[in-house]
Structure 1
Amino acid sequence: MQKQQTKPMPACGKTKKYFLGPVALEFVATKTGVWRSVRPDVNLDVCVFCGNCGKHCPADIVSVEKAKRSVSFDWDYCKGCGICANVCPKQCITMIPEEGVCKL
């Protein structure tokens, strides 16, 4: 059975319960980009940098900077799901085959 410790919370005067026991001190995300067989490609000439792609990305890996006119992806975690391409109002994101993918 885990031990329980109670600590006062000064901001609201209530107490908070903490369980003492084995806990993970560091969480490391697995780089899931290796699953990808297609990847998004953005046509920056058509893009209006609305940020829809970033808002709808389930992995939260799309960064849109309107001032710099750039859209970037964290390729270590992009799975190539295509949601960004589906929600783009200007249809400026296309899914292209990932190079080096073995075709069976």
Structure 2
Amino acid sequence: MSKRMNVSPETKWHELPIGGEVLDAGNAADFKTGDWRSMKPVWHEDKCKHCMFCWAVCPDMSIEVKDGKMVGIDYDFCKGCGVCTAQCKFGALDFVIEE
């Protein structure tokens, strides 16, 4: 049973949950966090060697892979950290301002 509660102006201080308490288990798959991004990687398929170094370092698992090859970037979850672009030795990823 969830401890989640509705808080309103009428809620008394002693009815509030303890600060910092996690009320419900979370899952990053439930939340599209890509809109936090101010910079984004852009993939150039023609330069890509499919070495998968970008996939190995992506903290958000946003590098899309099919049959052992990169097929794109999941921008719904990419936060624009730039780790993949720094790792790419072949110029297959650029880092640009999100527009």
Q: Secondary structure at the match of 1:77?
A: coil
Residue number in structure 1 paired with 2:11? none
Residue number in structure 2 paired with 1:47? 48
- The Cα shift of 1:94 comes to 0.3
- The Cα shift of 1:46 comes to 1.0
- The Cα shift of 1:39 comes to 0.9
> AA paired with 1:85?
T
Residue number in structure 1 paired with 2:75? 75
- The Cα shift of 1:28 comes to 3.5
Matched, 1:84 2:89: no
Q: So what's the TM-score if we normalise by structure 2?
A: 0.63
Q: Please tell me whether Structure 1 or Structure 2 has the larger radius of gyration of its CA atoms.
A: 1
Higher strand share goes to which structure? 1
Unaligned segments of structure 1, at least 5 residues: 1-22, 100-104
Contact 1:49 1:64 in 2 (8 A): no
CA offsets per residue over residues 35-54 of structure 1, 9 Å max, x none? 10111111111111111111
- Identity over aligned pairs, percent: 36
| Greater relative contact order (CA < 8 Å, ≥ 6 in sequence) | 2
Higher helix share goes to which structure? 2
Contact 1:41 1:93 in 2 (8 A): yes
RMSD between aligned residues: 2.1
Equivalent residue pairs, number = 75
